[in-house]
Amino acid sequence: MLGAREIAEDPDMVSKLTEFYWEIERGSGAVPVLLPWLPTPSKKKVRTAPLGDELLRLLTFAAGTRVQHQEATVGMYTMIAGVMHKRREEGRREEDTLQVLMDSGKSDPEVVQTMLGFFFAAIINTGIGSAWLLLHVANNPTWRAKILQVRLMRECRVCLCVCVRSCVCARVGSPELPTH
């Protein structure tokens, strides 16, 4: 699993992590990068957390030094650091990426920063990978035909085979003919 089991299995934590992501995403784009001084709705004031100077510097850097990202970044950091702390407190180990990073000897801020990097890379690359996949399939007649063939397949209700248009059951006159 790429991430932390506790977060992946808790719908509330997934929802909160998603909110944090979209808060950061809303403040990103061409206008905030090219015109950072322009007063936009994403430049709202945020609460500052009582954090150490090093941690605040790290979070501000990770957030691209934009004020609107700070609260969401602190929220993400706190969520992942909280999972790490709870595991240590309970003496519990999991089989996931977070545990591997915790066992690597990296500091907590380094572990959290790596986890956040994985999270953002996974989101960004999923869309890019899907777009390239569709482009390659559209330009390759062989693969396009195979995908269309799979799309036309249906499971036979009698013999449970997967067929295209007809199956053995239909040819031998089965009373329960599949609907294909």
The domain ranges of the chain are: 5-138, 141-171
Q: What letter would DSSP give residue 49?
A: P
According to the model, what pLDDT value does residue 179 have?
46
The better pLDDT of the pair 118, 62 is held by: 118
The count of C-alpha atoms lying within 13 angstroms of the C-alpha of 151, restricted to the half-sphere facing its C-beta, is 6
Average pLDDT of every residue of the chain: 75
Hey, what are 70's tokens? Answer: 């700070």
Mind listing the pLDDT tens digit for each residue in 119-161?
Answer: 888 887 888 888 888 888 888 888 888 877 766 565 555 555 5
According to the model, what pLDDT value does residue 162 have?
54
Checking if the pLDDT of 59 tops 90, the result is no
According to the model, what pLDDT value does residue 84 have?
94
Checking if the pLDDT of 180 tops 50, the result is no
Mean pLDDT across 45-63:
50
φ, ψ of residue 139 in degrees (nearest 5): -95, 0
Contact indicator for 48, 70 with CB cutoff of 8 Å: yes
Q: How many angstroms separate the CA atoms of 79 and 111, rounded?
A: 13
> Does the reported pTM lie above 0.95?
no
pLDDT band, very low/low/confident/very high, at 41 (cuts 50, 70, 90): low
Q: How many angstroms separate the CA atoms of 121 and 133, rounded?
A: 17
According to the model, what pLDDT value does residue 52 have?
53
pLDDT band, very low/low/confident/very high, at 72 (cuts 50, 70, 90): confident
Strands 154-155 and 162-163 turn out to be antiparallel
According to the model, what pLDDT value does residue 65 have?
42
Mean pLDDT across 88-117:
93
- H-only helix segments in the chain: 5-8, 11-26, 30-34, 53-62, 67-90, 97-103, 108-138, 141-152, 168-171
